[in-house]
Each structure stands twice: as C-alpha cells, then as structure tokens.
Amino acid sequence: MNPKVKSDISWQRIGTEVLIMDTTYLKQAHSLNSTAALVWQHLNGKNSPKQLASILSEEFEIDESSALNDVEALLERFRKLQLIEG
Amino acid sequence: MHDLKPSSSLVANLIAKAHSNHQPLFPTLEITQICNLACKHCYNFDRTKQATPNNQQEHMSSAQIENAIEQLRDLGALWINLSGGEPLTHPDILRFVNKASECHLIPRLKTNGLLFDEAMAERLKRAGLKGLDVSIYGASEETYEKFTKRPGKEKAFNALKIAKEKGFDISASIIIHKLNLSELSQMISQCQKLGVKFQLSDEITERYDKSPGARDYEIDGNDMKMLLSSEHGQLFKYKNHEQGLQCSCAKTVIGIGFDGSVYPCIGAPILAGNIKEQALAEIWKNSPVFSKIRNLRKEDFKSCNTCDFIDHCNRSSGGIYANTGDYCGCDSKTLEFSRIRSMLSNNQS
C-alpha cells in the first residue's frame, strides 16, 4: 500500500510550508518546510516512495537516489508521528 | 512538535504568515437560517415575529454547501465553523461535517446545543467533528426562555457535558444581555464546574435584514460599569496596547451566508459576491470590497485617530458596520464602553 495522509489529520499549505494539526492521535501541531511539504502533498495513496523521490528530484534538482533516502526518512518520521498510513 | 493552541509559537507564526498572504484559514459557513430558538437578539431576522425564514428558496442546496467547503479548502482554509441558524437542524449536517473532514479541515459547530445528545455526539464524532462553541443565554431556565422563547438551559449545559466527555474541543459562548446580567457568576461557575472554557460576548448588533428590536436587550454603560467593578471585572477590561484598529476580516477570515453571499466576516455583512454566481477564488482575489478592506490604513479610521479612549477600545469593525453602515467609523456603544474602561483605569492608576 502506498503511503497516504490519514483521513483525520488536518492540514493546509501556508506559503511554501505546510501546517499539520493532529487533533486525533498525538494532539500536536507540526510544520513542514518546502521540501517536506512537496512530499506531503503527494501522500495520496497513489504515489510509491520511488515516485515521490522522482517528484522531489525533479523539483529540487537532486539525484533520485539521495531523494529516495530523504523520502524514506521522511516517511518513517511521519509514521512515528502517526500522521500517515501505508 | 508543538501544541495545538493558536497561540503556540509555531501555529501563531503560520497564522501571521496567512494574514500577510490573505489566506482565509478561518471561514464561517452558514448552512441554514432555520433555528429551533427565537432569540431576541438574532441578527438574521426577527424570530420573535416569525418562526421560519421566508427566504427558504434562497438557501444553498446541500450540493452547493459541499462545493463551498471544497472551494474553501482550495482557497486555503484550515478551521471551518459551520453555523446558522442552528446548524444541527440541517438534515445533512453529518454530510457537511464529513465533507470538511475529508478535505482535511478542522470542522467546528456554532450551536445552541439543544439537539446535541449522546447519539448525535457519536454520529458527529464519527463524521469528523472536532469542536463546538455552545451559546449560553442564561443560568436559569426562566431567563433562558425569556430570551430564546424556549427552555433550553439544561440541554445547553448538558451538550457541553456530553461534548467534553466525548473529547471534543469545546467552548461556551456566554452571550451577555440585560436579562442574564445578574446570572453571570452562575453561568461562569457552571462552566467551571464542567471544566469547560468560556468566552464572554456583549456584542449585539442590528439585524442584517434591518428589522428593529435586536438591540433592545443590549447592555448599556451602567451595566458595563457594574461588570467592571464586579468580581469578574478583569474579564471586561481591555488594553489596546498597539492601538490596533483592524481585525482579520478578508485576511484570514471570510463568511459565507446561507444564500451563498460572501462577506469579509460573518459578523460584517458587506456583500462581496455570491458563490452561486461566481467562483469563491475569484471573489476572494478580485472583489473590490475585499481589496478596499485589505488596503485600509490607520488614517482611514478617522474618528479613531482623534479618540481619547483608543487605548481601551476593542472595536469590532463588523459590528460597527452592522450598526452604522460605516466599517471605519464608531458607534455609541463602542465609544461609551471604551470611555468607561479608560475612566476606571485612570481612577485606579
């Protein structure tokens, strides 16, 4: 299953950042910088980590292998914070 | 990681950014004008004369309301207030809450709480509701009914109790008027007993349809003096340190009326467009009304610039507009209350 933002996590883009309001699980607020925000906005269950890395690599002109490492680390962090499924 | 309060540094910083960018984080969407109470002060229309609105054909359809929620999401909303009338009278309320939740918004209800029982609380929770603001009009059933034409005090406080037990983020909105002034301590202590936070509002405005009588029960200067010297006086003091004149209208706030009318705030009935006729994004970006409000400068608030009591003024541009038709002006009550606060503050210092 591809990673997906949980349906009961509230969020919105503000400028280049994303504000996440987890009012359900750990009851915390988080902000994401523009790089993480780009990944976050594509966590819709349709994109695999590889596809997410490709989006990141294209937007920020980094190589796909470094992008994949960054994406995996980010996804792991989101999972620990109970923000995503898959 | 930060807590969820808007005052936490992370959230406050991002709200400030949205304010500068003009991003409507905090919309209010009136889903109906139908209500199960007939409050004397209602700004919609005079409910003491007619029970139901005579403009039901103008109400947005459920599909239009869902579409409005999606448009708000696309425009940058995060917290959404569903209001009315009484939003729980709408047969599709669960559908709207669910839609807001699906859009990753934080849905809240502005309600009188009378229809909020255990079963409804469960259904709303499942649909994704996060919070409620429950209006409180009295500490006794008698006072409540005098103001709303129907008993409901027990149900309103019970709604707060149930909502707290179910884990909703709740707030009691205590509406202060002539009839419940003597019950303020009781209303506050009943909220405290339930462990519920409360906010006080003495703002009662003219009706949007211009019918008379809404302000007949508004508190006056003598009442404010009494409140300021009461045990709760601290709650009515206000220090406008930065001499601020403007609010969040048309910046982080937007209001959409029951008929699709778009306003800078639900409390500021200045028509900017209608979502039945135009895309919300187009109204938000191009409306001359919004543009004018966003470009107001301190000099535009002429009466404020020469006012001696500005340091103690908590003016609401929307309320003043509803009462006088002048968004940048002042009204007699705002001036009087600021004068009283200033006078008492000078006497104490």
Residue numbers of B between 125 and 144 with CB closer than 8 Å to A? 128, 130
Chain A residues in contact with B17 (beta carbon < 8 A): 14-15, 17
- Give the distance from residue B21's alpha carbon to the nearest chain A alpha carbon, in angstroms: 8
CB A15 within 8 A of CB B21: yes
| Cross-chain residue pair A29–B25, CB shorter than 8 Å | no
End-to-end CA distance of chain A: 5
Sign of the four-CA dihedral B102, B106, B110, B115: positive
Reported as a pLDDT band with limits 50, 70 and 90, residue B2 is: low
| Cross-chain residue pair B1–A13, CB shorter than 8 Å | no
pLDDT in tens, B213-227: 999 999 999 999 999
| Cross-chain residue pair A19–B2, CB shorter than 8 Å | no
Q: With a cut of 80, say whether residue B8 has pLDDT above it.
A: no
Predicted pLDDT of residue B6: 67
**Residue B163: its H or E element:** helix B153-165
pLDDT in tens, B20-78: 999 999 999 999 999 999 999 999 999 988 877 777 889 999 999 999 999 999 999 99
Q: What ipTM was predicted for this assembly?
A: 0.94
Q: With a cut of 60, say whether residue A40 has pLDDT above it.
A: yes
Query: Is B51 or B291 the better-scoring residue by pLDDT?
Result: B291
Amino acid at B38: A
Predicted pLDDT of residue A3: 97
Phi, psi of B240 (to 5 degrees): -90, 70
Which of the residue ranges A36-40, B40-44, B81-85 would you say has the lowest mean pLDDT?
B40-44
pLDDT in tens, B105-154: 999 999 999 999 999 999 999 999 999 999 999 999 999 999 999 999 99
Q: Is residue B341 part of a domain?
A: no
- Give the distance from residue A17's alpha carbon to the nearest chain B alpha carbon, in angstroms: 9
- Give the mean pLDDT of B157-168: 97
Residue B88's domain is classified under what CATH number?
Answer: 3.20.20.70
CB B92 within 8 A of CB B61: no
Count the domains in chain B: 1
CB contact B25 to A (< 8 Å): yes
Range of the domain at A12: 4-85
| Cross-chain residue pair B10–A15, CB shorter than 8 Å | no
B175 three-state secondary structure: strand
Chain B residues in contact with A29 (beta carbon < 8 A): 1-4, 8, 10-11
- Give the distance from residue B226's alpha carbon to the nearest chain A alpha carbon, in angstroms: 40
Closest in A5, A13, A23 to B106, CB measured: A23
Query: Is B85 or B52 the better-scoring residue by pLDDT?
Result: B85
Query: Is B155 or B209 the better-scoring residue by pLDDT?
Result: B155
Q: Is residue B120 part of a domain?
A: yes
Q: If you count them, how many residues does chain B have?
A: 349
pLDDT in tens, B293-328: 999 999 999 999 999 999 999 999 999 999 999 999
Chain B residues in contact with A31 (beta carbon < 8 A): 10, 14
Q: With a cut of 90, say whether residue B205 has pLDDT above it.
A: yes
Pairwise CA distance, residues B254 & B245, whole Å: 18
Predicted pLDDT of residue B242: 79
| Cross-chain residue pair B14–A17, CB shorter than 8 Å | yes
Predicted pLDDT of residue B290: 98
Q: With a cut of 80, say whether residue B4 has pLDDT above it.
A: no
In chain A, whose CA is at the least distance from the CA of B15? A14
Closest in B10, B14, B128 to A8, CB measured: B128
Q: CB atoms < 10 A from the CB of A51, how many?
A: 13
Q: Is residue B293 part of a domain?
A: yes
pLDDT in tens, B179-192: 999 999 999 999 99
Mean pLDDT score of chain A: 96
Predicted pLDDT of residue B67: 98
Q: Is residue B125 part of a domain?
A: yes
Residue A34's domain is classified under what CATH number?
Answer: 1.10.10.1150
CB B30 within 8 A of CB B256: yes
Q: Is residue B331 part of a domain?
A: no
- Give the mean pLDDT of B194-209: 95
The pTM of this model reads: 0.95
Residue numbers of A between 5 and 64 with CB closer than 8 Å to B? 5, 7-15, 17, 19, 21-23, 26-31
Chain A residues in contact with B251 (beta carbon < 8 A): none
Predicted pLDDT of residue B1: 55
Predicted pLDDT of residue A86: 87
Range of the domain at B288: 22-297
pLDDT in tens, B231-249: 999 999 998 887 778 889 9
**Residue B108: its H or E element:** strand B106-111
| Cross-chain residue pair A10–B130, CB shorter than 8 Å | yes
Predicted pLDDT of residue B185: 97
Q: With a cut of 80, say whether residue B349 has pLDDT above it.
A: no
- Give the mean pLDDT of B274-281: 98
Count the domains in chain A: 1
CB A45 within 8 A of CB B128: no
CB pairs under 8 A between A and B: 67
Interface test with B, best of A4, A7, A11, A14 (most B CBs within 10 A): A14
Residue numbers of B between 193 and 212 with CB closer than 8 Å to A? none
CA proximity to B43, closest of B84, B7, B93? B84
| Cross-chain residue pair A15–B17, CB shorter than 8 Å | yes
Predicted pLDDT of residue B7: 64
Pairwise CA distance, residues A13 & A21, whole Å: 12
